[in-house]
Amino acid sequence: MPRIFLNRLIQICSKSERRLSSLFMDRPLRASSSIVLNISEGSGRMSNKDQRRFYSIAFGSTREVQSILDIIDEQYVDLIKTADSVAACLYRLLNPKK
């Protein structure tokens, strides 16, 4: 799901009008790349502490992308919902039932 999310953001940013500052075209791409890369790196770590650190970074990047999408336009509601799903999965990884 995070990879699909990243690919969709790449499509949006590449078609984006120049009226959007580079901040709002570059940041979502970098943050969504961070989501995918940190989930991948965290899943390869053996200790729970290391896994949690990478999942926590991915969670923060997910929230960053959601905020940017909220600012840019409401037409990206589908992406915001996808980001919510990614954030929920990461939250469950960070807060397992005991």
pLDDT confidence of residue 82: 80
Contacts for 69-73 with beta carbons within 8 Å, 24 or more apart? Answer: 69/28, 71/24, 72/20, 72/24
Contact indicator for 38, 55 with CB cutoff of 8 Å: yes
CA pair distance 6, 11, nearest whole angstrom: 9
pLDDT confidence of residue 75: 65
Q: How confident is the model at residue 61 (pLDDT cuts 50, 70, 90)?
A: very high
Note the pTM of the prediction, 2 decimals: 0.65
pLDDT of residue 88 exceeding 80, the answer is yes
Nearest by Cα to 60 from 81, 19, 30: 30
> Quick one: how far is CA 14 from the chain centroid?
17
Please classify residue 81 by burial: count the beta carbons closer than 10 Å to its beta carbon, then call 0-12 exposed, 13-18 middle and 19+ buried: exposed
Domains and CATH numbers, the chain: 2-94 (1.20.1440.60)
pLDDT per residue over 7-56, tens digit each? 776 676 666 555 555 556 677 788 888 999 999 999 999 999 999 999 99
Tokens encoding 50: 């290391």
Average pLDDT over residues 63-70: 81
